[in-house]
Amino acid sequence: MLARLADVPGATTAVASRPVRADDGPALGRLAMAAYRGGVDDPDQPEAWHVEDLTAALAGRYGRLLPVSAAVEDDDGLAAATLFTWWEELPFLAFCLTRPDRRRRGLAGGLIGTAARALSAEGHRELHLVVTETNPARALYERLGFRELPDPKR
């Protein structure tokens, strides 16, 4: 999916966040496990797998991490996070994670909207992501202006 950054609405809810840090891998892994558990994209892997994957993401597995990547913390740890990378010549939303008990509170939309404004101010025009067709987060991405791209393999 692709969005023109000018079309992505700014955060409608004030979201207190901080930049993602290099040492966030374990906390992001736990957040990913909670966010994916029982969903359509659940890889059915143990916590250690998620920690390794998110630690590797911070080290560049899915492209160079962009400074607009952000996390929201609460008393229970990370409540939400977005990891943006540079991939295929565009900013890429590599991970958008929200703990189940914090869903539908504007965290993901706020983080994406804030990042979109910052990326636009840096001169970027588009942002892309990949999401499965049956993932409920797809509705959020569509509300934020993301549209399906034609499959280049067809």
Residues 55, 101: Cα–Cα separation, whole Å: 23
Domains of the chain and any CATH numbers? 2-20+64-143 (3.40.630.30)
Burial of 134 (0-12, 13-18, 19+ CB in 10 A): exposed
Tally of CA atoms within 13 A in the half-sphere of 9 that contains its CB: 13
119 by DSSP, 3-state: which? Answer: helix
Burial of 128 (0-12, 13-18, 19+ CB in 10 A): middle
Q: pLDDT for 106-154, tens place per residue?
A: 999 999 999 999 999 999 999 999 998 889 899 999 999 999 987 655 4
Residues 77, 69: Cα–Cα separation, whole Å: 17
Q: pLDDT for 36-73, tens place per residue?
A: 998 887 888 999 999 999 999 999 999 999 999 999 99
The pLDDT assigned to 39 comes to: 85
Contacts (Cβ under 8 Å, ≥6 apart) of 46: none
Average pLDDT over residues 8-18: 82
Tokens at residue 66, please?
A: 């962009």
Give the largest CA-CA distance in the chain: 48
Please tell me which residue, 43 or 16, carries the higher pLDDT value. 16
